[in-house]
Amino acid sequence: MKFSRALARFALAIALTYLGLLAVTFFIGRVIPVDPVLAVVGDHAPEHVVERVREEMGLNKPLLEQFGIYVSKVLRGDFGMSVLTSNPVLDDIKRTFPATFELATLGILIGAGFGVPLGVWAAVRRGGVADQVVRVMGLVGYSVPIFWLGLMALVLFYAKLDWVAGPGRIDVTYEYMFTPSTGILLLDTAMQGQWEAFRNVFSHLILPASLLGYFSLAYISRMTRSFMLNELSQEYVVAARAKGISEARIIWRHALRNALVPLVTVITLSYAGLLEGSVLTETVFAWPGLGLYITNSLQNADMNAVLGGTIVVGSVFIGLNLLSDLLYRTLDPRTRAR
């Protein structure tokens, strides 16, 4: 009984969150001083065509009615058509989200995979070389513009050293060697056994993913260091040392385990941040992801696309928040329900 009530309350909260998100985005979209019809007919179209298209798009109806129509369509699974691609928005998202997902996932794996050990090392060797490295990396990560770093990385690793492939997700030659099914090219090529194509996809992916990973790493390593320092100053660590437990075991099995509790939230939120699509990285690397899609649509007041993208981003955040909550409960026995 209690559980179902909690579930109902939870579902209501989610529904209200979505509704609020959509309402705010919708009304901002209708209020911004950009004429959505411009993107459809262009600047040279005669006035009567402009007016007719405005009527066809339902833009002359009262705002609340337009919003109501939109929400009722969404509930039926119809996200509308994108003005800019002539495709249903749902199709566009199915095409662009996997690209962002692949990039963000590899990015966070690099960011957390290197960031956490680096942060631990900096905490343990406080004031030492690792600590300075973490500090500098953090500073660079916050100060250097990502598009500049991205271009420099391309010039160095792609143009000069030839270590990685260039912008875009895959080379022309490999494009038709497999059939995209999930849109996550690493998975698609692996599932179909096209290993040369797999290597090519990875080669395209590694540089932008490392770039995003680097920026997550800067943040994650600082937070890890901070949480670890907190843990290592606790009394149980002193007690464990007195008992003769090895330093490595204390750091990894005990202190880190406890530091992971707040750290998991940091990592999931970083991941969510990457998943909403980083426009600048996508621009530099010609990565056809969600960030570019939403930004381009916003600049043209293509509201169906913007709202569709907003729903995706909102869902990502809600989902990852849930995940972080669950992980919290798993890692910290004190938070489990009585």
Partner 1 sequence: MKLASSLLTRRQLGVAAAASALVLSLGTVPALAATPPDTLVVAFAFDDMITLDPGEAFEISTGEFIGNTYSQLVRYDVADPSKLYGDLAKSWKVSEDGKSYTFELKPNLKFASGNPLSAEDVVWSLQRAVLMDKGPAFILTQFGFTKDNVKNKIKATGPLTVTIETDKAYAPTFVLNCLTANVAAVLDKKLVLSKEVNGDMGSAWMKTNYAGSGAMKLREWRPNEVLVLERNDNFYADKSKPARVIYRHIKESATQRLLLEKGDADIARNLTPQDLDAVVKTQGIKTTATPKGTVYYISLNQKNPILAKPEVREALKWLVDYSAIGDTIIKNIGVIHQNFMPVGLLGASTVNPYKLDVDKAKALLKKAGYPNGFKVTIDMRTVQPVQGITEAFQQTAKRAGIDVEIIPGDGKQVLTKYRARTHDMYIGQWGADYWDPNTNTDFVRNADNADNAKVKSLAWRNAWDAPALYMQADAAVLERDPARRKALYDKMQAEFRATSPFIMLYQQTEVAAYRSNVSGFRIGSTSDSTYVYRAAKR
Determine, following the binding rule CB under 8 A, whether residue 244 of this chain makes contact with partner 1: no
- Taking CB under 8 A as the rule, which mask of x and - marks residues 277-316 in contact with partner 1? ------xxxx-x---xx--x--xxx---------------
Could you give the CA distance from residue 280 to residue 285 in angstroms, rounded to a whole number?
Answer: 9
Distance between CA atoms of 160 and 302, rounded to whole angstroms?
40
Q: Which of 5, 31, 86, 244 binds partner 1 (CB under 8 A)?
A: 86
CB nearer to partner 1: give 147 or 328.
Answer: 147
Cα separation values, 332 from 148, 325, 328, Å? 41, 10, 6
**What is the CA angle 110-248-214, rounded to 5?**
15
Smallest gap from Cβ 197 to partner 1, in A, equals 11
Find the DSSP H helices in the chain: 2-31, 36-41, 47-56, 63-75, 89-124, 129-143, 146-153, 185-191, 195-232, 235-242, 247-249, 256-275, 279-284, 290-299, 303-331
Q: Does 88 bind partner 1 (CB under 8 A)?
A: no
Choices 7-15, 80-88, 215-223, 254-262; region in contact with partner 1 by CB under 8 A: 80-88
Question: What is the phi/psi pair of residue 337, to 5°?
Answer: -60, 145
Using an 8 Å Cβ cutoff, are 285 and 168 in contact?
yes
Segment near partner 1 (CB under 8 A); pick from 136-144, 160-168, 222-230, 320-328: 160-168
Which residues are within 8 A (CB) of 69 and not within 5 positions of it... i.e. 6 or more apart? 58, 61
Of 125, 126, 253, 257, the residue at the interface with partner 1 (CB under 8 A) is 125
Neighbours of 10 (CB within 10 A): 11
Counted residue by residue, the chain has a size of 338
> Which residues lie across from 81 on neighbouring strands?
88
**Considering just the CA atoms, what is the radius of gyration of the chain in Å?**
24
The least distance separating partner 1 from the CB of residue 96, rounded to whole angstroms, comes to 9
Contacts with partner 1, 134-153, as mask; x by CB under 8 A: -------------x---x--
Q: How far is the CB of 204 from partner 1 (least distance, A)?
A: 9
Q: Is 38 in the site for partner 1 (CB under 8 A)?
A: yes
Q: Does 229 bind partner 1 (CB under 8 A)?
A: no
Residue 105 in contact with partner 1, rule: CB under 8 A: no
**235 is a site residue for partner 1 (CB under 8 A):** no
Helix (H, G, I), strand (E, B) or coil at 42: coil
Options 100, 189, 194, 200; binder of partner 1; rule CB under 8 A = 200
The residue (of 26 and 114) whose beta carbon lies closer to partner 1 is 114
Among 78, 171, 325, 332, binds partner 1 (CB under 8 A): 171
Query: Residues 40, 44, 46, 49: what is their CA dihedral angle, to the nearest 10 degrees?
Result: -10
Residues in contact with partner 1, counted by CB under 8 A, come to a total of 64
Site for partner 1 (CB under 8 A): which residue of 21, 104, 134, 165? 165
DSSP state letter for 81 = B
Site for partner 1 contains 248 (CB under 8 A): yes
Which residues contact partner 1 (rule: CB under 8 A)? 32-35, 38-49, 52, 83-87, 92, 95, 120-121, 124-125, 147, 151, 154-155, 158-159, 162-168, 171-173, 199-200, 202-203, 206, 246-248, 251, 283-286, 288, 292-293, 296, 299-301
